[in-house]
Amino acid sequence: MDVVETQGAATARAIPKNRVVVIGAGQAGLSTAYHLKRLGLSERDFLVLDQSPQAGGAWQFRWPSLTLSTVNRIHDLPGLSFAETVGAGAESVGAAVAVPRYFAEYERRFALPVVRPVQVKLVCERGGRFRLETDRGEFAADSIVNATGTWETPFIPDYPGHERFGGRQLHTRDYKSAEAFRGQRVVIVGAGISAIQLLDEISRVTSTLWVTRRPLEFRDGPFSEEDGRAAVKAVEDRVRQGLPPTSVVSVTGLRMTPTIAAMRDRGVLERRPMFSEITETGIRWPDGTESAADVILWCTGFRSSLDHLAPLMLRGDGGGIVMGGRLATEVATNPRVHLVGYGPSASTIGANRAGAAAARELLKTLGILDD
């Protein structure tokens, strides 16, 4: 690792300089780091900065009841099997335990240069280099791979009356257990996988209302590879046009699993359209009627955590970023910046493929790798 000397008022200080800095050590960041090393970069050439206290990305913060039997499939990182690390018969193990264990072993096995905890506050460009301002000093890099995911940016829509609600308003990331809601009237808002899982758990201990902005499509049978490719392609087309990404689930719908079928049979999946207003004691429907509520649980998803990149002025007028490259990881206006885990790569399998493509394209841009 080289250093850049900067002259302050009294003394000069050394800023670590790298060819590449990867921000984030979740699935996308680790995949990128693996491929950077495989393509010839040494630990002196690149770093992975991760703000979490330990390996595991956002998985370490998931609710305890999310086990390997209920979570969506966790795809292997390149070069190491998840099953090999976790072991047989681990279906009852919490995802917040199993996935961090896997990621930690992955970092160790391939000697990936992860530094934590480091919070990247701002990234700016000066003199052809990127400067990263962090809570542990400054870093310099020729290029950036951003893999910060979405966990730090929960989205709650600004509904009329939200500020006067006398109960609690929570987001998916605040959820710990259904028992915390026993005896309370809970409104669950959202049409994604997390909303369905939490609705299932909470409805077993108390009364619930399930509210979504749009009707939900449940599909019988597993999704085919063609279905998956078509859904990813739809999201990819959006980001290549500079539009904000949508979730893959919003394109595919949800698969009718035995768990969801059981919810339907016990009357839990009685979806209501969105309310028009939040009151002091609950919610008001468009027809003027009201329903009392003690808790509004917003399972309304997340947005990409990109605020630290604001000085680079990557976003267009519509709020999105025009993406290029083979798998839409390259920022079109600045090819020395790649976003992995953004848009079509916001899934475990998508993050793996994106990490490989971003590493190769970035090293070509830097002149380290031939075409």
The CATH code belonging to domain 2-152+302-365 is 3.50.50.60
What is the token pair recorded at 5?
């000397």
Instruction: Find out whether 141 and 19 touch, Cβ atoms under 8 Å.
Output: yes
Domains 2-152+302-365 and 162-220+256-298 share a fold: yes
- Listed in sequence order, the residues at least 6 apart from 82 whose beta carbon sits closer than 8 Å to its beta carbon are 74, 75, 76, 102
pLDDT along the chain (371 residues), means of 10: 41 66 96 95 92 92 79 79 74 82 95 96 94 95 95 92 96 95 97 92 96 85 69 86 78 78 92 96 96 97 93 90 94 96 81 91 92 69
- Whole-angstrom Cα distance, residue 47 to residue 114? 6
- Whole-angstrom Cα distance, residue 167 to residue 184? 10
Phi, psi of 13 (to 5 degrees): -130, 150
What architecture (CATH level 2) is domain 162-220+256-298? 3-Layer(bba) Sandwich (3.50)
Tell me the CB-side half-sphere exposure of residue 216, using CA atoms within 13 A.
23
Instruction: Find out whether 185 and 207 touch, Cβ atoms under 8 Å.
Output: yes
Q: What is the pLDDT of residue 89?
A: 57
Instruction: Find out whether 295 and 168 touch, Cβ atoms under 8 Å.
Output: yes
Instruction: Find out whether 62 and 95 touch, Cβ atoms under 8 Å.
Output: yes
Owner of token pair 């002259």: 7
Domain chopping of the chain, boundaries:
2-152+302-365, 162-220+256-298
Q: What is the pLDDT of residue 155?
A: 93
- CA 235 to chain centroid, in Å, comes to 15
Element (H, E) at 36: helix 27-38
Q: What is the pLDDT of residue 235?
A: 87
What pTM did the predictor assign?
0.88
What is the token pair recorded at 103?
């990621």
Q: What is the pLDDT of residue 65?
A: 83
Q: What is the pLDDT of residue 174?
A: 95
In 3D, which of 340, 332, 292 has the Cα closest to residue 312? 332
- CA 101 to chain centroid, in Å, comes to 19
- Whole-angstrom Cα distance, residue 363 to residue 148? 20
